[in-house]
Amino acid sequence: MTNVTMTINGRSVSGTVEGRTLLSTFIRETAGATGTHVGCDTAQCGACTVHVNGASVKSCNMFAMEADGADVTTIEGMANADGSLGTIQQAFQDHHGLQCGFCTPGMVMTAAALLKENPTPTEGEVREYLSGNLCRCTGYHNIVKAIMAASGQDVSSIAAE
Amino acid sequence: MYAFELERPTTLADAIKALGGEEAQPLSGGQTLIPTLKQRLAMPSTLVSLTGIDELKGIKNEGGTLTIGGATCHADVAKDGSYPALSDLAGHIGDPHVRNRGTIGGSLANNDPSACYPAAALASGATIVTNNREIAADNYFTGLFETALDEGEIITAVKFPIPEKAAYVKFEQPASRFALVGVFVTKGANGVRVAVTGASEGGVFRWTEAEEALSSNFAPSALEGLSVPADGMIGDLHGTPEYRAHLVGVITKRAVMKAG
């Protein structure tokens, strides 16, 4: 057992972990931030996506010890300081970018990573960037639309609502 | 997952020491290894993480040779751009999250028969640098998931001579984004080299017949009438050996066209 400390959404969190403890487990069970969802646990669905030192990663495919000392942002860190929805979250609500909501934390974290790299992506670039995130409800159209809207672009010509 | 000890050294010397232990195995980005551990297909007693070692990371372009640290992630290679065909390849591995964790050393050490990097290393005539020696790519890939690496040997860097022309084209398996067939073509000081991944049961290979044809005429038309035998090609639910053999010809032409 090893002691690790990381910053999660600006709060320092310490805990004792085994070598095999996944970052997703640490976030959910030690930090209590259960907004990070574990969907497939095989690194395919992307529901567990978080940012580690600014880079998006699948937290079920990284060990907690590997994030020792890191700065981690999860979906709980995406809201505004007053608790209201952040821009990307609000766009998902406005454009019905979710149905059951299970994949949404990963989708929002991925969208945030994309918009940091590429503030005005094309629809094609959004779809390409979402290649590691699966949604089984919406067929992706409204997710893409929400991300385009969050980037401040006109989305009136994009299919589906 | 079975229980194991995870060591996180910060120097190469400490990593090599830790790998001297019984049933110790290196862990790089873990994008293949962690799912493998979850399926209980591997059960090392100790994993030695290489991603906390700064001396294994980074990219240097000196005198036409690009040297990439073994623990450098795909996203960093994609961003670099000094060897455009290699950056293009790195930017299309898996998905963005995988590219932020997966490393060039991990990919080459695993030598998955459908991985992209082996094609780049072989076609570029790269040199695999380890903690013990330097291995030419031509002598490095020895079969399906097999390499010339010894037990406990770590890829510290990969040296790519930057060719005059190069391109990589993959026909991807859309769910995994691994190459159903991927071809990396280069033209430079080493002549023309064509490396094919995803197709053969023996892993990445050089298509020498195409290299000879392209040496005198570096154009897709030079490949007319050339084909690889279906014998020894991978057959699975995504494609038969005959289909993959056909794709090798098609994708090689596209790669030559892309290289310009």
pLDDT in tens, A106-120: 999 999 999 999 999
Q: Which of B31, B97, B177 sits opposite A56 (nearest CB)?
A: B97
Q: Is the pLDDT of residue A161 over 80?
A: no
Q: Is the pLDDT of residue B218 over 70?
A: yes
Contact of A57 with chain B, judged by CB distance below 8 Å, is answered with yes
Domains B58-161 and B165-259 share a fold: no
Q: Which of B6, B49, B97 sits opposite A58 (nearest CB)?
A: B97
Q: What is the pLDDT of residue B176?
A: 84
Residues B123, B113: contact at Cβ < 8 Å? no
Closest Cα to residue B104, out of B38, B151, B155, B149?
Answer: B155
Q: Is the pLDDT of residue A68 over 80?
A: yes
Dist CA B107 CA A72 (whole Å): 26
Dist CA B186 CA B122 (whole Å): 10
Q: Which of B6, B47, B100 sits opposite A57 (nearest CB)?
A: B100
Residues B59, B75: contact at Cβ < 8 Å? no
Q: What is the largest CA-CA distance in chain A?
A: 54
Dist CA B27 CA B15 (whole Å): 10
Q: Is the pLDDT of residue A70 over 60?
A: yes
Tens of pLDDT, residue by residue over B144-169, are 999 999 999 999 999 999 999 999 99
The overall average pLDDT reported for chain A is 95
Query: CA angle, corner B6, sides to B2 and B11, nearest 5?
Result: 155
CATH of region A87-150, choose from 3.30.450.260, 3.30.2010.10, 1.10.150.120, 3.30.565.10? 1.10.150.120
Over residues B15-44, the mean pLDDT reads 94
The chain B residue lying nearest A19, using CA atoms, is B6
Q: Is the pLDDT of residue B175 over 90?
A: no
Closest Cα to residue A49, out of A99, A107, A128?
Answer: A107
Q: B30 and A19: CB-CB below 8 Å?
A: no
Contact of A63 with chain B, judged by CB distance below 8 Å, is answered with yes
What pLDDT band is residue A159 in, cutting at 50, 70 and 90?
low
Q: A42 and B38: CB-CB below 8 Å?
A: yes
Q: Is the pLDDT of residue B256 over 70?
A: yes
The structural architecture, per CATH, of the domain B5-49 is: 2-Layer Sandwich (3.30)
Q: What is the pLDDT of residue B177?
A: 86
B67 DSSP β-pair partners: B60, B159
Q: Alpha helices, DSSP H only, in chain B?
A: 12-19, 33-38, 74-80, 84-90, 96-101, 104-110, 117-124, 137-140, 208-216, 241-259
Report the complex ipTM.
0.95
User: A2-76 sits in which CATH class?
Assistant: alpha beta
Q: A20 and B4: CB-CB below 8 Å?
A: yes
Topology given in CATH for the domain delimited by B58-161? 3.30.465
Q: What is the pLDDT of residue A156?
A: 84
The chain A residue lying nearest B79, using CA atoms, is A117
Contact of A129 with chain B, judged by CB distance below 8 Å, is answered with yes
Over residues B202-219, the mean pLDDT reads 97
B contacts of A6 (beta carbons < 8 Å): none
How would you classify the pairing of strands B155-161 and B65-69?
antiparallel
Domain spans, chain B: 5-49, 58-161, 165-259
Contact of B6 with chain A, judged by CB distance below 8 Å, is answered with yes
Domain B165-259 sits in CATH at 3.30.390.50
Domain spans, chain A: 2-76, 87-150
